[in-house]
Amino acid sequence: MTSTALPTTEDLRTRARTSLERVGVTVPEGTDFRARTPITGEDLFGLEAATAADTEEALTATRAAFLTWRTTPAPRRGELVRRLGELLRDHKSDLADLITIEAGKIRSEALGEVQEMIDICDFAVGLSRQLYGRTIASERPGHRLAETWHPLGVVGVISAFNFPAAVWSWNTAVALACGDTVIWKPSELTPLISLACDHLLARAAEEVGAPRDVHRLLLGDRTIGEKLVDDPRVALISATGSTRMGREVGPRVAARFGRSLLELGGNNAAVVAPSADLDLAVQAIVFAAAGTAGQRCTTLRRLIVHRDIADTLVARLTAAYQKLPIGNPFDDATLVGPLISTKALDGMQDALTRAQGQGGKILAGGGRRLAEAAAQAAYAEPVIVRVDKQSDVVREETFAPILYVLTYDTLDEAIALHNDVPQGLSSSIFTRDQQEAELFLSAEGSDCGIANVNIGTSGAEIGGAFGGEKETGGGRESGSDSWRAYMRPATNTINYSSRLALAQNVSFL
Ligand code: NAD
């Protein structure tokens, strides 16, 4: 199925301009690089990239701002985040427009992304009154042992195209509440939404009397990210993107003894047990596998189905895939928008060719869609591929809507297959058997950072910590106690007696 005709690039340019102006951003002009839209695959505006001097200035300014921001009481820092959240609420529709235009997300998911930003602001405002340390029993009489948490410094946020605004807000709302300042290097594919977010934060800072330099935006390519990665003035690099990028960033930050928080690629799987509620499972699987055109880090890429129900489930999924409306992401009927680029489509086609070469059989989808779309736009049918084994291509993350289906006989076998990939982000099991569910969540079960029951792999709430193991990088962001990554702990031993007692009964003098 195809939804309504695509808008023209001129329509999208006008819509982007209107949204930017409503947010308060002057429509950019420059010649260094182009903002583009995957909806038509064409350019929208020319932009200026940050220069080396801009980067240096941002480093100096955010470092100077940190020195005052870290002494501002945390609940007052929270006032800045609260105002940001209010402005995001006011401009929810404009921001969602920009996300759809630049990342190609369907309207409902783009609105969801902005809602996630609002939610994390609410969370961080509460957090600003809840930054706590522990008191630990001391072995010495008349002593108190405690930990205090202090702001860390400048946080460099490097973000990916597919959550062009939410990932920034997860980092920035929490970092600001924690007393850090932020430099943001967004994806070169999504500069317009970045300009809008930066502008709203600057406005919030002005309105609440916070220093403007608590935040800086640097537009441009990875070379700007590399400068942040190598600069010792950046205390924490929070980098979201491919495992390839993390493999470069992690060691470089470690080489200067900086901290990094890596949120990298996933290769997420769901196990479907014989007792599963298939109505619920089909709905969840289609959203997780085909939603966002397969361009979420948590997208469902592998389905591990019990042999007894595999044919039934696959038939139902195939039928659902044939009805997926693909096309204009602004059309309310559309469920699958464009891939980010023709390069992504080439990667998808290449993976399908390899999968077939490795014994895979395509059961649904796989074609290029929208004859009326320009050659540089990339609309693809989500695909289901049945495979006998977890071959090379199945073990890789292809950032496109390909769902590989494998079968299993015992739960041990399913869990072994599940964990036998290099990535460890998100996972789920569909079952009505409590023993199976608990086993999947136990230490012998899923090895991922996110493990769900009777719900898909994607669409996490902000209240929990988000992130994954193995080649996903080990970072945790967003809720729970992820804030600790943005602060440094100090252990304090306070002697309130008048005797010097050494630990471990050491005697000296
Ligand atoms: P990407 O790795 O191409 O780029 C991500 C960002 O890193 C961009 O801003 C880019 O300019 C920058 N970058 C690239 N190489 C760099 C280097 N050597 N030094 C410094 N910066 C560098 O990723 P993408 O295509 O934009 O996004 C898709 C990928 O991101 C997928 O693999 C997806 O799974 C992953 N992702 C992960 C999460 C998560 O939370 N785990 C969330 C979103 C996306």
Of 102, 113, 263, 471, which one is the catalytic site residue?
Answer: 263
As given in the structure block, the two tokens for residue 443 are 């230490």
Enumerate residues 6+ apart whose C-beta is below 8 A from 294: 301, 382, 399, 400, 401, 402
| 252 and 283 share one domain | no
Domain total of the chain: 2
Cβ(191) to ligand 1 under 6 A?
Answer: no
- The atom of ligand 1 lying closest to the CA of 248 is 18
Per-residue pLDDT of the chain (509 residues; tens, 9 = 90+): 555 689 999 999 999 999 999 999 998 789 999 999 999 999 999 999 999 999 999 999 999 999 999 999 999 999 999 999 999 999 999 999 999 999 999 999 999 999 999 999 999 999 999 999 999 999 999 999 999 999 999 999 999 999 999 999 999 999 999 999 999 999 999 999 999 999 999 999 999 999 999 999 999 999 999 999 999 999 999 999 999 999 999 999 999 999 999 999 999 999 999 999 999 999 999 999 999 999 999 999 999 999 999 999 999 999 999 999 999 999 999 999 999 999 999 999 999 999 999 999 999 988 777 666 778 899 999 999 999 999 999 999 999 999 999 999 999 999 999 999 999 999 999 999 999 999 999 999 999 999 999 999 999 999 999 999 999 999 999 999 999 999 999 999 999 999 999 999 999 98
Q: Do residues 321 and 386 both lie within one domain?
A: yes
Clarify whether residues 374 and 479 are in a common domain. no
At 187-216, the pLDDT tens digits run 999 999 999 999 999 999 999 999 999 999
Distance between Cα 158 and ligand 1 center (Å)? 8
Residue 240 Cα to ligand 1 middle (Å) = 5
CB contact burial 18-51 (16+ within 10 A = b; e otherwise): ebbeebebeebeeeebebbbbbbbbebbebebbe
Q: Which domain holds residue 309?
A: 268-466
CATH number assigned to the domain comprising residue 302: 3.40.309.10
pLDDT tens digits for range 73-86:
999 999 999 999 99
- Please report whether residue 2 resides in a domain: no
Q: Report the alpha-carbon distance of residue 487 to residue 76 in Å, rounded.
A: 17
Note whether 134 and 120 are same-domain residues.
yes
- The answer to whether the CB of 249 is under 6 A from ligand 1 is yes
Mutate to test the pocket of ligand 1, among 33, 162, 163 (most ligand atoms within 8 A of CB): 162
Say if ligand 1 is within 6 A of residue 273 CB.
no
21 is catalytic: no
CA-based nearest residue to 379, from 390, 370, 389, 388: 370
Examine the domain organization and report whether 258 and 372 are in the same domain.
no
297 lines ligand 1 (CB under 6 A): yes
Tell me the best of 185, 240, 397 to mutate to test the pocket of ligand 1, counting ligand atoms within 8 Å of each CB and taking the most. 240
Looking at the domain assignment, is residue 495 inside a domain? no
